[in-house]
Amino acid sequence: MATKATGRHRADVEINVLESFELRSRRSIRESERARQSRLERKMAKRLAKQQKAQRSHTREHKEAVSSGRYLVRAERRTKLHEHRGVRNLITMTVASGLFATFALPAYAYNPDVAAMSRFTTTDAQALASAAGTQNLTVAAVNTVKYSRGSYESANASEIARQETLNAYRTYTGPTAADYILNPPYSKLEGATVLQVASKYVGTPYVFGGETPAGFDCSGYVAFVFSQFGVELPHSVHAQNRLGILIKPEDAVPGDLVVFDDLSHDGIYAGNGNFYHAPRPGDSVKLAPIFTSNIHFVRLATK
């Protein structure tokens, strides 16, 4: 009958099994490492062989070219003109200088029409800056289109109409506001009469700085109407606003002034929410509804 194994013997057997497993594992690792190294060496050998083959081929082609009298010359890449750094910088500086010169043009380079309308006799900047009448906005003369035989410039209908209006304004010889102040045709300032006089000039074209029946702007129109009642008003919305008495809208009557709150425009109140005024360039004196609520009413003080 076999002797039963003791506990010590079983332990020895287990240790031997673990050692055998460890040895096999180490051997497997070493074999895997050798296999990996072998693969790397084969790859390196193939790569080296390919490089050597390419080098031999290049050397053979070079020898054949030399022996046949031909030379292999690599074509040089030509850089385009606009790709040069210096050329790009020059172009950039040129464009920047042109833009700067354009934006730096003097703000006082007036149009001849504007210069004439403002009683400027020259468009020279230095002369304008030193002239005593630079701020005078009374129209004295207006340039017109000049034509010479054999040369012409096309003009649209609105431009021709504008030139005709300015020409008519320049040649006006009738009574002015100053004339009426010296000898007013009306002795009493009444609303109904003021509206009657104001309506006589409906259709008069708008002219910037205008103050005669040949052309009015807003304050020039108001000043001309009231001059016929002996009321001398300056040609300025700001000044006309200061010369009157502020009244409530519900107390306004025909003949009072309608003044915009920003002092950009004024006219003569006609009642029922309407007023006589010279609106803007291209338009004419008209009776029209008051088109904004940003207004106040001024009553001119009489002596």
pLDDT digits (tens), the chain, 303 positions? 555 555 555 556 566 667 777 777 788 888 888 898 999 999 999 988 888 888 888 777 767 765 665 544 555 566 666 567 777 888 888 888 877 767 665 544 445 554 444 444 454 555 544 554 444 444 444 444 444 555 556 668 888 888 888 898 999 999 999 999 999 999 999 999 999 999 999 999 999 999 999 999 999 999 999 999 999 999 999 999 999 899 999 999 999 999 999 999 999 999 999 999 999 999 999 999 999 999 999 999 765
φ, ψ of residue 85 to 5 degrees: the values are -60, -45
Task: Look at the block and give the residue holding tokens 């074209």.
Answer: 205
**Confidence at residue 117, expressed as pLDDT on a 0 to 100 scale:** 45
Q: Sign (positive/negative) of CA torsion 248, 249, 252, 255?
A: positive
The CATH number that domain 175-300 falls under is 3.90.1720.10
pLDDT given for residue 13 in this prediction: 58
Using the Cα atoms of residue 133, residue 135, residue 138 and residue 142 in order, give the sign of their dihedral.
positive
pLDDT of residue 22: 73
pLDDT of residue 140: 41
Instruction: Give me the residues paired with residue 297 across strands.
Output: 247, 258
Task: Measure the CA dihedral 287/186/176/200, to 10°.
Answer: 30
Give pLDDT, residue 143. Answer: 44
Task: Return the pLDDT at 24.
Answer: 75
pTM for the model stands at 0.51
Locate the domains of the chain by residue range: 112-168, 175-300
